[in-house]
Structure 1
Amino acid sequence: MPKMLFALIALLLFASPVPAATVGDDGLHKQDWFAITFRDIAEDIEAAREEGKRLALVFEQRGCIYCRKMHEEILSDPEVREFIEAHFKVVQYNMFGDEEVTDLDGDVLTEKTAARKWGYVFTPTIVFLPEEAAEGASVAEAAVATMPGAFGKWTFLNMFRWVSEKGYETEEHFQKYHARIIEELRREGRLDAE
């Protein structure tokens, strides 16, 4: 018994903790792996592509309990975080912010006017952009998928996987993809509460 107790204590002491999200001056939760850019969407798409990744924009707001939950419960999960970090360049937007944004169609906006123009009203909202910038289209028109609101781990992760696998170009709608993956997880005994 003492050996088992010692092993448990050692595991707790030396386990590498997942870094917690911090809260910035703007009141938004921050991940150290979120990209800081000049918010020129076409440039960000190209930079992501050069890194072998896709661009995802995440709209949040100060005091959003669902954003906090996303950061503390979903993005802190190593499986979720590692997949997103490996496949996506994520840029955070403040739904009511004043930072300058250049849309794909060339319009120069603030974060808040961009959110209104693109029709994003929920936080968090994650917008997935194509691999190459669509000239003349706005972000909302060019987006290959949008995830409005907060979801559990598997819905959240499966949406990133579906976009990464270009499911939007296939006949398998996201809901069908998600149901198939959930069934596979059940068979493997890996499904936790969703």
Structure 2
Amino acid sequence: MRNIAKVLMAVVLSTPLAVGVAAAELGDDGLHKTSWMRDTFKDLREDLEEANGEGKRLALIFEQRGCIYCTKMHEETFPRPEVSQYIAENFFVVQLNLHGDIEVTDFDGEVLPEKEMARKWGLLFTPTILFLPEAVADDATAPEAAVAVMPGAFGAGTTLDMFTWVNEKRYAADSGEDFQRYHARRIRERNNGSAD
């Protein structure tokens, strides 16, 4: 019986979404758009203030046109109801274009087009998600202030675990559980105590 449950769970977590949240549509900029992404003036100080006002965590996601890994996240991971709902309820997500020209104001006050901000921050790959704390020093850049960075495309379990780990502030020094240990524990819990 346990093996049947494992097989069913594996199928559910690996099958593209059949029911629930629709996959994101492509915007005019060639990037996928979800209902939980915020269209802002991209002043990160204002975005952080608004996120805090809503009781949510600020997350910045860099993507680019034609990115197969971004497409994978938007077609297979983000549409999962448990992932999409968790992000929508707990995060204020601002999308940035790795090659875009829209001006972004960093926490340190510097204003640059998205593509130059990506270079300033040393971002090379998409998708990359930066998770920010509730308070950021005036002289800090977003990567310096980030409590976690999620580079690349991951499945639903890993993605949900990362968003949950950040939201629960498990990155804090006194939490005693880094992301890898947290994620391994969550996998065992999802598999009813089995590590395989």
TM-score category (smaller protein): 0.7 to 0.9
Q: Name the structure 1 match of 2:80.
A: 77
The answer to whether the 8 Å contact 2:20/2:81 transfers is no
> What TM-score, normalized to structure 2?
0.86
Deviates more, 1:126-135 or 1:93-102: 126-135
Q: CA deviation at 1:17?
A: 4.5
List gaps (5 residues or longer) in structure 1. 1-14
Q: CA deviation at 1:120?
A: 1.1
Q: Name the structure 2 match of 1:187.
A: 192
Q: Report which of the two structures shows the higher radius of gyration computed on alpha carbons.
A: 1
- Distance in 2 of aligned mates of 1:87 and 1:32: 14
The answer to whether the 8 Å contact 1:56/1:126 transfers is yes
Q: CA deviation at 1:186?
A: 0.6
Q: Report the number of matched residues.
A: 177
Query: Which of 48, 53, 56 matches 2:56?
Result: 53
Q: Name the structure 2 match of 1:4.
A: none
Query: Which of 120, 133, 138 matches 1:130?
Result: 133
The answer to whether the 8 Å contact 2:69/2:126 transfers is yes
Q: Name the structure 2 match of 1:173.
A: 178
Residue by residue, what CA displacement relative to the aligned partner does 1:18-44 show, whole Å, maximum 9, x if unpaired?
223110111101112210111011111
Q: Name the structure 1 match of 2:3.
A: none
Residue by residue, what CA displacement relative to the aligned partner does 1:108-128 show, whole Å, maximum 9, x if unpaired?
011011111111111000000
The answer to whether the 8 Å contact 2:61/2:128 transfers is yes
List gaps (5 residues or longer) in structure 2. 1-17
Runs of 4+ in structure 1 off by over 4 angstroms are none
Q: CA deviation at 1:85?
A: 0.5
Q: CA deviation at 1:16?
A: 6.8
Q: CA deviation at 1:88?
A: 0.1
SS in 1 for 2:112: strand
- Distance in 1 of aligned mates of 2:163 and 2:82: 12
Query: Which of 94, 113, 125 matches 1:110?
Result: 113
Query: Which of 13, 26, 30 matches 1:27?
Result: 30
**One-letter identity of the residue aligned with 1:95:** L
- Distance in 2 of aligned mates of 1:164 and 1:124: 20
- Distance in 1 of aligned mates of 2:84 and 2:20: 13
The answer to whether the 8 Å contact 1:59/1:123 transfers is yes
Fraction of identical pairs, as percent: 60
Aligned CA-pair RMSD? 1.8
- Distance in 2 of aligned mates of 1:188 and 1:76: 27
Q: CA deviation at 1:171?
A: 2.2
